[in-house]
Amino acid sequence: MGEAARKLVPEPDPIAAKIARSTQVAVLPQVVCRIAEIAGSSDASVSILERAILIDPGLSAKILTQSNSAAYCLPRSVTSIRDAVILMGFREVRQVALAAGVFDLFVGRSDKESLRRRAWWRTSLDSAVCAHALTRRWPLIGSDEAYTCGLLHLIGKTLLDRSDSRKYTRIQEVVEKGVPDILAERAIFKTDHVATAIEAAKFWGLSDRLSAGLDYITPNLDHEDADLCALVAVSHRVSELALTGRPADVDPDTLLPMWACKSLQIRPQDVEQVIQVGIQAIASAANKHL
């Protein structure tokens, strides 16, 4: 990766770094990182991936469950991880592993925490699905990295929440009055969920490009990783539209972030198509897992 790409990752945020590394905050399981690494390697084999999965019984169960879902319409049950890997393929296994590992970080300790974290999780998963689908339009952005960034882009919210849930309750109260969440976070935590997500990604050993791609709000548009940031921003917005519907009083040309449209060269006449592709992908993924 070139020097320009590395420079896009913001300078370390000491407060965000402390929260991301806190021993009281669950970290992305190493087995998940290992599976993601193996599944993304051109030299990996089914046997190597199988051994990595078998280390974690919970993850093994999730992969077997997915391989036996109605989506595959099999005449018989899949009973081995090896068969599941062959059936699903490395990419699908990687996505299931990432989703399972990240989901654990969105589990709350109370009903109130669980409610807001489930909402963040839904947006994260839908954004990942949308970003993955939209890479067909922008093939130079890898579908795996798009999915990963979509899945992780709100992880900073749950890490902030885990560090002090009472503070995050205050943030939600302020946001309900119309203040952007990132400004409320900076006022109360002296950092924000984007900076925290980036620090967590670096702590977990993810690549510079993946870390940079998590800045879906105020990225440096002069650097080569800005395309990934823009795709995540568009996917985040589409996931919101899929959940809440389109506001009646909003100009169609402003439904997606203007800076992201400019970065991805989305013309005003293309906005509707981009939204429809994303919403259809989200609906299809939801039906697949019913």
* Residue pLDDT, tens place only, 68-119: 876 677 777 888 889 989 999 988 888 888 888 787 777 766 667 778 888 9
**Class for the domain spanning 3-27+108-288:** mainly alpha
For tokens 């169609």, the residue is 252
Q: Where are the domains of the chain?
A: 3-27+108-288
| Residue 275 token pair | 């939204």
- b/e map 93-125, b = 16+ CB within 10 Å: bbbbbbbbbbbebbebeeeebeebbeebbbbbb
* Residue pLDDT, tens place only, 218-235: 888 887 889 999 999 999
DSSP for 191-206 reads S-HHHHHHHHHHHTT-
* Residue pLDDT, tens place only, 133-148: 999 999 889 888 899 8
Angstrom distance (rounded) from CA 53 to CA 100: 12
Which residue type does 178 have? G
DSSP for 144-191 reads HHHHHHHHHTTHHHHHHHHH-HHHHHHHHHHHTTT--HHHHHHHHHSS
| Residue 25 token pair | 């905050």
Give the pTM. Answer: 0.79
Better-predicted residue by pLDDT, 59 or 188: 188
Mean pLDDT over each residue of the chain, to the nearest integer: 85
